[in-house]
Amino acid sequence: MKLKRWVVLVTAFLLAVICAVGSELVMDHVLDREQTEETKNAVLQMFPGNTSTLVNCHYEDGYLIPENEDPQIVTVQTGERETANVTVRFGKELEENCFIQLFYDTGNGFNENETIKITANAGDEEIILPLPEGRYYNLRVDINGRVPLNSIDCDAKIKITGNIPGAFYKKRAAVLAVVFFVLFAIAALCLTDKKWGNGAKAIEDVVRYAILSVIICSFVNVYYRLGEARGLDDILRFALRPNWLVAVILFAVMFGSKIMAVKFGFNLFDKLHKWRWAIAAIVLVIAVALQLNGSSLHQWNTFIGEYTYNGVAFGVSRAIRSDEWARGTPMMKALSFENYPLYSHILRAAPTETVVTTAKATWDFSAVFHPFIWGYLLLGFTYGLSYSWCCRFILLFMLSYDMFMMMSGNRKLSFAFAVTIVLSPLVQWWFITPITELLVSCFGLTLAAKKYLTSQSIKIKLLSAFVVFILLGNYTLTLYPAWMVPLAYMLLGLIVWVIIDNRKGIRLRLKVDFPIIGGTILLFGAALAVIYLRSASAIHDMTNTVYPGTTRVNPLLKTGYLFSCLANILSPYTNAFVGNSNVCETAGMLTFFPLGILLGIYAMIRRRKADLLFILMMIVSGILALFTFADVPIWLRKITLMDMTMSYRIAPILDLVQVILLFRAVSMMQTEKRIKWYIALPVSALIAWLINEGLHKYNYVSGHELLYAGIFAGSLLLVFAAVYAGKNEKGRSLFATLMIIVSLFAGGTVNPVQVRADEIEKNTLISEIRKIVEEDPEGKWLVENLNYPYAMVPLMAGAPTINCANNYPNLALWYQLDPERENEYYYNRFAAQITTNLVEDEKSSFLSGATDDQFRLYLDIDDMHILDVSYMLSNQELERFSTEKVRIEKVYSWSTFMIYRVTYGNNA
**pLDDT tens digits, residue range 160-196?**
333 333 333 344 455 555 555 555 555 555 554 444 4
Predicted confidence at residue 624, as pLDDT, reads 96
Same-domain status, 137 and 215: no
Candidate from 43-47, 461-465, 636-640 with smallest mean pLDDT: 43-47
Same-domain status, 106 and 190: no
Tell whether 287 is covered by a domain: no
Same-domain status, 531 and 668: yes
Predicted confidence at residue 4, as pLDDT, reads 55
Tell whether 753 is covered by a domain: no
Candidate from 109-123, 160-174, 756-770 with smallest mean pLDDT: 160-174
- SS3 category, 308: coil
Tell whether 386 is covered by a domain: yes
The residue that leads in pLDDT, 723 or 780, is 780
Cβ neighbors of 511 (< 8 A, separation 6 or more) are none
Predicted confidence at residue 81, as pLDDT, reads 55
Distance CA 276, CA 445 (A): 19
Cβ neighbors of 554 (< 8 A, separation 6 or more) are 646, 647
Q: With contact defined as beta carbons under 8 Å apart, do 394 and 388 qualify?
A: no
Same-domain status, 352 and 479: yes
Looking at 138, 159, 180, the residue that finishes a domain is 159
3-state secondary structure 781-816: EEEECCCCCHHHCHHHHCCCECCCCECCCCHHHHHH
pTM confidence score: 0.83
Same-domain status, 610 and 673: yes
Q: With contact defined as beta carbons under 8 Å apart, do 658 and 589 qualify?
A: yes
The residue that leads in pLDDT, 154 or 169, is 154
Distance CA 341, CA 310 (A): 31
For the segment 297-314, the average pLDDT, to the nearest whole number, is 83
Nearest alpha carbon to residue 156 among 53, 241, 75? 75
Q: With contact defined as beta carbons under 8 Å apart, do 223 and 242 qualify?
A: no
Predicted confidence at residue 465, as pLDDT, reads 95
Same-domain status, 43 and 32: no
Distance CA 765, CA 790 (A): 11
Which phi and psi (to 5°) does residue 326 adopt? Answer: -105, -5
For the segment 396-400, the average pLDDT, to the nearest whole number, is 98
Predicted confidence at residue 185, as pLDDT, reads 53
The residue that leads in pLDDT, 92 or 330, is 330
Candidate from 13-22, 640-649, 853-862 with smallest mean pLDDT: 13-22
Same-domain status, 439 and 506: yes
Tell whether 326 is covered by a domain: no
Predicted confidence at residue 325, as pLDDT, reads 94
Same-domain status, 840 and 721: no
Instruction: Calculate ∠ Cα 231-232-237, nearest 5°.
Output: 105
Q: Which domain holds residue 267?
A: 5-36+168-274
Domain count, the chain: 4
Predicted confidence at residue 699, as pLDDT, reads 52
Percentage with pLDDT > 90 across the chain: 41
> Where does the pLDDT of residue 714 fall: very low under 50, low under 70, confident under 90, or very high at 90 and above?
confident
> Where does the pLDDT of residue 159 fall: very low under 50, low under 70, confident under 90, or very high at 90 and above?
very low
| Residues 596, 742, 713, 663, Cα dihedral to 10° | -20
Candidate from 16-25, 462-471, 720-729, 764-773 with smallest mean pLDDT: 16-25
The residue that leads in pLDDT, 428 or 183, is 428
- We report the CATH number of the domain holding residue 121 as 2.60.120.260
Predicted confidence at residue 452, as pLDDT, reads 94
The residue that leads in pLDDT, 896 or 332, is 332
Count CB atoms within 10 A of the CB of residue 323.
Answer: 16
Predicted confidence at residue 515, as pLDDT, reads 92
Tell whether 280 is covered by a domain: no
Predicted confidence at residue 815, as pLDDT, reads 95
Percentage with pLDDT > 70 across the chain: 81
Q: With contact defined as beta carbons under 8 Å apart, do 434 and 482 qualify?
A: no
Same-domain status, 818 and 888: yes
| Residues 512, 514, 516, 517, Cα dihedral to 10° | 140
The amino acid that residue 334 corresponds to is A
For residue 567, pLDDT beyond 90: no
Nearest alpha carbon to residue 390 among 410, 374, 366, 368? 374
For residue 421, pLDDT beyond 90: yes
> Where does the pLDDT of residue 423 fall: very low under 50, low under 70, confident under 90, or very high at 90 and above?
very high
Cβ neighbors of 210 (< 8 A, separation 6 or more) are 19, 180, 181, 184, 247, 251
For residue 483, pLDDT beyond 50: yes
Among 6-15, 232-241, 772-781, 898-907, top mean pLDDT goes to: 772-781
Mean residue pLDDT of the chain comes to 82
| Cα distances (Å, whole numbers) of residue 513 to 462, 467, 524 | 9, 15, 16
Looking at 697, 718, 747, the residue that finishes a domain is 747
Predicted confidence at residue 30, as pLDDT, reads 42
> Where does the pLDDT of residue 732 fall: very low under 50, low under 70, confident under 90, or very high at 90 and above?
confident
**Exposure pattern of 388-402 as b/e (b: 16+ CB <10 Å)?**
bbbbbbbbbbbbbbb
The residue that leads in pLDDT, 789 or 675, is 789
For residue 246, pLDDT beyond 80: no
3-state secondary structure 469-491: HHHHHHHHHCCCHHHHHHHHHHH
Long-range contacts of 126-131 (CB under 8 A, 24+ apart): 126/87, 126/88, 126/89, 126/90, 127/87, 127/88, 127/100, 128/85, 128/86, 128/87, 128/88, 129/85, 129/86, 129/87, 129/88, 129/100, 129/102, 130/85, 131/83, 131/84, 131/85, 131/86, 131/102, 131/104
Per-position DSSP letters for 195-231, written without gaps between them: TT--HHHHHHHHHHHHHHHHHHHHHHHHHHTGGG--S
Predicted confidence at residue 734, as pLDDT, reads 84
For residue 858, pLDDT beyond 90: yes
- SS3 category, 31: helix
Tell whether 189 is covered by a domain: yes
- SS3 category, 703: coil
Distance CA 121, CA 752 (A): 41
Predicted confidence at residue 518, as pLDDT, reads 93
Q: With contact defined as beta carbons under 8 Å apart, do 599 and 723 qualify?
A: yes
Looking at 718, 747, 776, the residue that finishes a domain is 747
What is the number of residues in the chain? 908
- SS3 category, 234: helix
For the segment 399-410, the average pLDDT, to the nearest whole number, is 95
Tell whether 63 is covered by a domain: yes
Tell whether 292 is covered by a domain: no
| Cα distances (Å, whole numbers) of residue 812 to 25, 541, 817, 874 | 70, 11, 9, 25
Same-domain status, 526 and 447: yes
The amino acid that residue 175 corresponds to is V
For residue 328, pLDDT beyond 70: yes
For the segment 150-163, the average pLDDT, to the nearest whole number, is 57
The amino acid that residue 437 corresponds to is E
Same-domain status, 540 and 443: yes
- DSSP code, position 897: E
Distance CA 833, CA 360 (A): 19
**Exposure pattern of 718-741 as b/e (b: 16+ CB <10 Å)?**
bbbbbbbbbeeeebbbbbbbbbbb
Predicted confidence at residue 283, as pLDDT, reads 96
Same-domain status, 784 and 848: yes
> Where does the pLDDT of residue 37 fall: very low under 50, low under 70, confident under 90, or very high at 90 and above?
very low
Distance CA 701, CA 101 (A): 32
Distance CA 107, CA 114 (A): 11
Q: With contact defined as beta carbons under 8 Å apart, do 547 and 852 qualify?
A: yes
Candidate from 120-134, 381-395, 433-447 with smallest mean pLDDT: 120-134
| Cα atoms found within 13 Å of the Cα of residue 198, Cβ hemisphere only | 6
For residue 36, pLDDT beyond 60: no
Distance CA 331, CA 795 (A): 7
Distance CA 721, CA 724 (A): 5
Which phi and psi (to 5°) does residue 106 adopt? Answer: -95, 10
**pLDDT tens digits, residue range 808-845?**
999 999 999 999 999 999 999 999 889 999 998 889 99
| Cα atoms found within 13 Å of the Cα of residue 873, Cβ hemisphere only | 34
